[in-house]
Amino acid sequence: MGKTTGFLEYERRLGPVRPEEERRKDFREFHSQLPPAEQREQAARCMECGIPFCQFGGLISGMMSGCPLHNLVPEINDLVYRGKLEKAWKRLSATHPLPEFTSRVCPALCEAACTCSIKDGAVATKENERAVIEYAWEHGLVEEAPPENRTGKMVAVVGSGPAGLSAALNLNRRGHEVTVYERRNRIGGLLRYGIPNMKLDKSVIDRRIAMMERAGIRFVVNADVGKTVSAADLKKEYDSILLCCGASHPRDLNVPGREAEGIWFAVDFLTAVTKELLDSGFQKMPYSLAKDKEVLVIGGGDTGNDCVGTCIRLQAKKVTQLEMMPKPPVERGVNNPWPEWPRVLKTDYGQEEAIHVFGADPRIYQTTVKEFLTDKKGKLKEAVLVSLEPKKDEKTGRTVMAPVEGSERKVKAELVLIAAGFLGSEAYVAESFGVELDQRTNVKTAAGGHAASIEGIYTAGDMHIGQSLVVRAIAEGRNAAREVDLAMMGYTNL
């Protein structure tokens, strides 16, 4: 696969990015592609390693390793290297229904499990994938025609995030009549409102949705199933119902002063920003949300980083990001061997921009909020921070991050964004259908299956497995579609 000596001849290179000073002034995508010839060189680095862990897609030590979609990575890279992008697209589309999304927002599990990553830097598979899908769109290779024959079966997909869209595509291809219900005013779920436009331009979503509509998939917006749309009515109308509502119950902070004005869940803040941008056709920047404010972002993950980058674009006065856990090492530890996901320090675009604007990394490790302080009108003005240290819990034997006595200090905070993850799905949708939940409030299914406790009801994505990645959600939707099809038809070719 690829050029036999490619990984020795070419160093890993990624596409150019706009400089921080330029990109922080707008919400346009800032990461572009390499020229075709240079992209072929990157694909040539894919070595004939014998065991392609890049396409494994399984759990190792509780962490996903390799592509959950089981994309045939070495074959795709080989075709890119040979300049056969049409064939590369056919190979990619055999397993992946939505590569335009993962090629922009995926953390590249395939690259973390790449044999080249042990020493010389992983093959740039994520950018190779983007080169393939964008070539396919540009040359009219992405086709989604209505199926020649309809089965007469009707399926409702509740939720239009990556899992819902993936399932809808596959079920429609099979010939079922598919209707997707979305509670917000635009289709896309997490892709639309949970990921900022500079990471995933919303025109990329619109392009795909338009093609899905032409193929016969029906989308209904402002349809909050379990509230404004009756679950009982859906049960009567559809042969099967697939719940893909995400892990939309954010983890909160139970500390004094939490009710102060100026404290947001990160997902609500990012939604408000994107909605205002879209409503104005990107003509109006929602500066009022963060301009000239001292911002405190609680959470060190991807969402926290997105909040940092967003607030910098909205001209925040200062942005600080809190992380409960210790600072990760620069290189893999002996307890984190390849091909596990590398638990190493990552400085993402938001932190890069903060370093450029404020002169320092915005992250403070082993720290959390002990209390929020307000003015007389109830508006947030300060936060009391406390340092944390790892200690063994005597009851459970587990290591926990415990407050350090006497380490409290006050910092100014006029806007707080809680990006501490999600606890599971919101209960009202599951309750409206009468399906059982597990201890994590995800819809309960048999191991490896997608069928809920009520006949004809299925689930996929974060509502099924808990908070995870876009690529896992897409794989979940694809696999759930196969199970739904098999149950309705008695056999499946999905």
142 CB-near residues (< 8 Å, 6+ apart): 89, 93, 133, 136, 211
- Report the pLDDT value the prediction gives residue 222, as an integer from 0 to 100: 98
Q: Which residue has the tokens 């939490």?
A: 258
CA–CA gap between residue 214 and residue 208 (Å, rounded): 10
Is 0.75 topped by the overall pTM? yes
- Indicate the SS3 state at residue 179: strand
**CATH T-level topology, domain 6-138:** Fumarate Reductase Iron-sulfur Protein; Chain B, domain 2 (1.10.1060)
Cβ 186 vs Cβ 278: under 8 Å: yes
Nearest to 182 by CA among 429, 396, 436, 444: 429
In the chain, what are the helix, strand and coil shares in percent, each to the nearest 5? 35, 20, 45
| Strands ordered across the beta sheet of 363-365 | 263-265, 415-418, 294-298, 318-323, 363-365
**CATH T-level topology, domain 252-420:** FAD/NAD(P)-binding domain (3.50.50)
- Report the pLDDT value the prediction gives residue 113, as an integer from 0 to 100: 96
In the chain, where the domains are located: 6-138, 154-248+423-489, 252-420
Whether omega for the bond prior to residue 19 falls within 30 degrees of 0, making it cis, is: no
Say which DSSP state 226 is in: T
Chain-centroid distance of CA 474 in Å reads: 10
CA–CA gap between residue 486 and residue 227 (Å, rounded): 30
Q: Count CB atoms within 10 A of the CB of residue 335.
A: 8
| Architecture of domain 154-248+423-489 in this structure | 3-Layer(bba) Sandwich (3.50)
- Report the pLDDT value the prediction gives residue 47, as an integer from 0 to 100: 86
Say which DSSP state 180 is in: E
- Report the pLDDT value the prediction gives residue 395, as an integer from 0 to 100: 85
130-131-136 Cα angle (round to 5): 95
Instruction: Tell me if 154-248+423-489 shares its fold with 252-420.
Output: yes
Mapping DSSP onto H, E and C, the string for 232-283 reads HHHHHHCCEEEECCCCCEECCCCCCCCCCECEEEHHHHHHHHHHHHHHCCCC
- Report the pLDDT value the prediction gives residue 1, as an integer from 0 to 100: 66
CA–CA gap between residue 97 and residue 94 (Å, rounded): 8
Nearest to 164 by CA among 443, 463, 427: 463
Full pLDDT tens readout for the chain, 494 residues? 678 899 999 999 999 999 999 999 999 999 999 999 999 999 999 988 889 999 999 999 889 999 999 999 999 999 999 999 999 999 999 999 999 999 999 999 999 999 999 988 999 999 999 999 999 999 999 999 999 999 999 999 999 999 999 999 999 999 999 999 999 999 999 999 999 999 999 999 999 999 999 999 999 999 999 999 999 999 999 999 999 999 989 999 999 999 999 999 999 999 999 999 999 999 999 999 999 999 999 999 999 999 999 999 999 999 999 999 999 999 999 999 999 999 999 999 999 999 999 999 999 999 999 999 999 999 999 999 999 999 998 888 899 999 999 999 999 999 999 999 998 888 999 999 999 999 989 999 999 999 999 999 999 999 999 999 999 999 999 999 999 999 999 999 99
Cβ 239 vs Cβ 171: under 8 Å: no
- Report the pLDDT value the prediction gives residue 155, as an integer from 0 to 100: 98
